[in-house]
Amino acid sequence: MFNILTNVRGQIVGGLTALLMGGMSVFSFAQAGGHESVLRVIPHADLKNLDPIWTTAYISRNHGYLIYDTLFAMDSDFNVQPQMVDTYTKSDDGMNWSFTLRDGLMWHNGDAVTAADCVASLARWGKRDGMGQALMTAMGSMTAVDDKTFTFELAKPFGLVLESIGKISSNVPFMMPASVAATDAFEQITDFTGSGPFMFSKDDWVPGSTVEYTKFDGYNPRSEPASAAAGGKLALVDKVIWTYFPDQMTAMNALQTGEVDFFESPANDLAPLMSANPDITVEVNDPLGNIGFLRFNHVLPPFDNVEIRRAALMAVKQEDYLAAAVGDQAYWSTCYSVFPCGTPMASDIANDIIQVADTDKAKAALTAAGYDGTPVIIMQPTDIPVLSNFSLVTAQKLREAGFTVEVQAMDWSTLTSRRAKRDPVSEGGWNIFHTWWIGADIMNPTSIAFSGNPDAGWFGWPTDPVSEAARTKFFVAGSLAEQQELSSIVQNQAWTNAFSGHLGQFFSPVAYRNNVKGLIKSPVQFFWNISK
């Protein structure tokens, strides 16, 4: 308490002095920044956690991309390209890899980026990320040979080495100084020195409000043009300032009046209002969009019975969800692949199972499955409109099919803790929740969304050894054809055993003032190459 009062007293005394000494200047319209070019951004969420390895939150990932760099990165064709790495080699059997860093890589404090930093960063990431854990399981040793070269010696075959260390979404293997990467993977880092195109100052960070990033003059970009996360990262503005707006309407108004330049994630229903303004561009920047998920709890009745899960899926229809939750058809499309449509692993294997959309057939299937009227508890997160509407559509469709349904309203934070419970419904358990995955996170079977291992899998805990075996093999698959074959098995199992319901693909537009140029099309919002 004393600290607060001292701080405030200091601020007030200092401020009053400034007021008295400043004379007429106190009536000026002083604007921070002067002649600096500043990109003012409304991010999709408040940046609460600064460590993108400690959390999978997308906002922390986006923060990470501004201040850190990656060894490899995914381009817009989903190919992994070198980023910090200059050259690399691998042995014919794929068991030995050697990587050499580019010249001129530098931390924000001026020190050179070394191979030892990269090895330490990979080790920390490998303790938290799913693909990282798989890679580390196969890893014999990671060694920094000299300042610029490090090697992998695999103990067992692993086919996704580059895909793992070049993954585009959470947790992204960002490179940090070795001293920072030595932090326990389950504790937050406290030093935010990166080697990315922008620098972060913790002193200027106001959680819940503002984050400032300053251009790092020492950044040495690649010469190739930017392509998704890959290519040259050119910082074309002096500062990027994120200001979080808890209220969408205020955010839209601020964009309309030019108080901000870029609105990362406006609600779809605000898009027409902004499109009507000739100074604003509204467009979809993420080609993969988001995939809606209806998740069953496989360990509790009634959805411990596969026939009842399939009956539930017969009752629902993607168009109903997308119309209710997203609205404008310009921002959604149906997709019956477990992997995002338009990506290399997408297929139509067994997708007739989730296209029935017939209440009568669902009723008949439910009766045949021996449903005994056990109530279905649907957790409805009322603070996230899309998911709230998904929940209501499911409730209605299941009721029409003969299920007894109870919708329990709660906020998302409550849902995230409750969904981790495997307890019976009477002790806080649940039967269904809804969420969405960004397309980039479920492009192949390695995502935990497709786990068939009930002990180490994602909430809902399906059991499917066939799918799990295919996922395991996917990690060592050598060719695209082999990967697609294994992905087909995973999809077949996912639909046949009704792991989840897929509610279609939907896209969130971005909105920006017309003087903002150079946006990169990508599943992740990047802020390099943007000028204004």
Partner 1 sequence: MFYVIKRILATIPVMVVVALFVFCIIRLGPGDPASVIAGDYATAEDIQEIRIKLGLADPIPVQMGKWFVQLASGDLGKSYHSNMQVTKLISQRLEPTLLLAVTTILLTVFVAIPLGTLAAYKAGSWVDKFVMIFSVAGFSIPVFVLGYILVYIFAMELRWLPVQGYRSPFDDGFLLFLKHITMPAVTLSVIYIALISRMTRASVVEVLNEDYVRTARAKGQSEFKILLRHALPNAAVPIVTVLGISIALMIGGVVVTESVYNIPGLGRLVLDAVLSRDYGVIQGLILFFSFIYIFINLLIDLSYTLIDPRIRY
Find the part of the chain contacting partner 1 (CB under 8 A) among 135-143, 314-322, 409-417, 521-529: 409-417
Kindly state the smallest distance separating residue 139's Cβ from partner 1, in Å.
Answer: 20
Identify which of residues 96 and 414 has a Cβ nearer to partner 1 in the complex.
414
Q: Which of 21, 23, 29, 35 binds partner 1 (CB under 8 A)?
A: 29
Q: How far apart are CA 428 and CA 445, in angstroms?
A: 31
Nearer to partner 1, 281 or 416 (CB): 416
Distance CA 65, CA 83 (A): 12
The total number of residues written for the chain in this structure: 532
Binder among 37, 91, 179, 210 for partner 1 (CB under 8 A): 210
Which residues, at least 6 apart from 11, have a Cβ–Cβ distance to it below 8 Å? Answer: none
Single out the residue of 49, 96, 355, 382 in contact with partner 1 (rule: CB under 8 A): 49
Interface with partner 1 (CB under 8 A), residue total: 74
For the segment 212-241, give every residue that binds partner 1 (CB under 8 A).
none
Q: Which stretch binds partner 1 (CB under 8 A): 75-83, 228-236, 414-422, 504-512?
A: 414-422
Stretch that binds partner 1, among 26-34, 89-97, 113-121, 510-518 (CB under 8 A): 26-34
15 contacts partner 1 (rule: CB under 8 A): yes
Of these, 53, 113, 241, 254, which contacts partner 1 (CB under 8 A)? Answer: 254
Site for partner 1 in 288-347 (CB under 8 A): none
Q: What's the CA gap between 110 and 346, in Å, rounded?
A: 44
Q: Would you state the structure tokens that stand for residue 79, as one six-digit string?
A: 């190919």
Question: Is there binding between residue 259 and partner 1 (CB under 8 A)?
Answer: yes
SS3 at position 8: helix
For residue 16, give Cα distances in angstroms to 8, 9, 19, 21. Answer: 12, 10, 5, 8
- Give the position of tokens 């002990």: 455
Indicate which single residue of 21, 23, 27, 92 sits in contact with partner 1 (rule: CB under 8 A). 27
Spatial separation of the C-alpha atoms in residues 147 and 124, rounded to whole Å: 19
Cα 427 from Cα 433, distance rounded (Å)? 17
* Distance separating alpha carbons of residues 156 and 163, to the nearest angstrom: 17
Site membership for partner 1, residue 209 (CB under 8 A): yes
Binding mask 157-196 for partner 1 (x = CB under 8 A): -------------x-------------x-xxx-x------
Please state, in angstroms and as integers, the Cα–Cα distance from residue 122 to each residue in 57, 111, 185, 197, following that order: 19, 19, 11, 20
Instruction: Output the smallest distance, CB 26 to partner 1, in A.
Output: 5
